[in-house]
Amino acid sequence: MKPFDGRWLCPATFAKRIPKSGDLSRVDTTEDSANSLRSSIRRLKRLQSPTDVAQITILPQQATADVADGTLLLDAGEAAGVDMEAGCFNCSCGTCVAEVVSGGENLSEPTSEELDVLDQWNKDPEKYRLTCCVTLDRGSVTLRQSH
């Protein structure tokens, strides 16, 4: 069995061509096949990788992570390895409040619920955001956890 027949095959299709018996001796293992498989894997990775990547930095830990645009700040912080504080996860308690050190223009617009909670905590919405209800839409942001 020639798994590639000179054509591009995705790894899933390649896997289907492996005999159910698991007898790999019938699978073409020539250098051309290996190169074709590597090319297929690279193409698949490009398709799966987000092209628009944003970056979050959490202070004082100086922890950073690259995340897909539109990631919730809470999830982005966790991706950076920081144990992000949160309570309700629903934009109503204020436990997740964080100071925006830079990059506030890259965050989603505040909702009326978020503004109400920030007002209750006497936090300026220009400097503070609730990480459970704000997304990092592009670029980079640096936050300092407030609790």
For ligand FES, the binding residues (CB under 6 A) are 86-89, 91-96, 117, 130, 132
Least distance (Å) between residue 118 CB and ligand FES: 9
Nearer to ligand FES (CB atom), residue 94 or residue 110 = 94
User: What burial class does residue 64 get, using C-beta atoms within 10 Å of its C-beta: 0-12 exposed, 13-18 middle, 19+ buried?
Assistant: middle
Least distance (Å) between residue 75 CB and ligand FES: 12
Least distance (Å) between residue 90 CB and ligand FES: 6
> Which residues contact residue 39 at a Cβ distance below 8 angstroms, ignoring those fewer than 6 apart?
8
- What is the C-alpha to C-alpha distance for residues 35 and 42, in angstroms, rounded to an integer? 11
Assess whether the previous peptide bond of 60 is cis (omega < 30° from 0).
yes
Least distance (Å) between residue 99 CB and ligand FES: 14
Q: Which tokens in the block code for residue 84? A: 């992000």
Nearer to ligand FES (CB atom), residue 4 or residue 128 = 128
Map tokens 């009326």 to a residue: 112
Nearer to ligand FES (CB atom), residue 27 or residue 88 = 88
Nearer to ligand FES (CB atom), residue 9 or residue 82 = 82
Least distance (Å) between residue 131 CB and ligand FES: 6
Provide the pairing of β-strand 97-102 with 128-130. antiparallel
Nearer to ligand FES (CB atom), residue 55 or residue 92 = 92
- What is the C-alpha to C-alpha distance for residues 16 and 9, in angstroms, rounded to an integer? 10
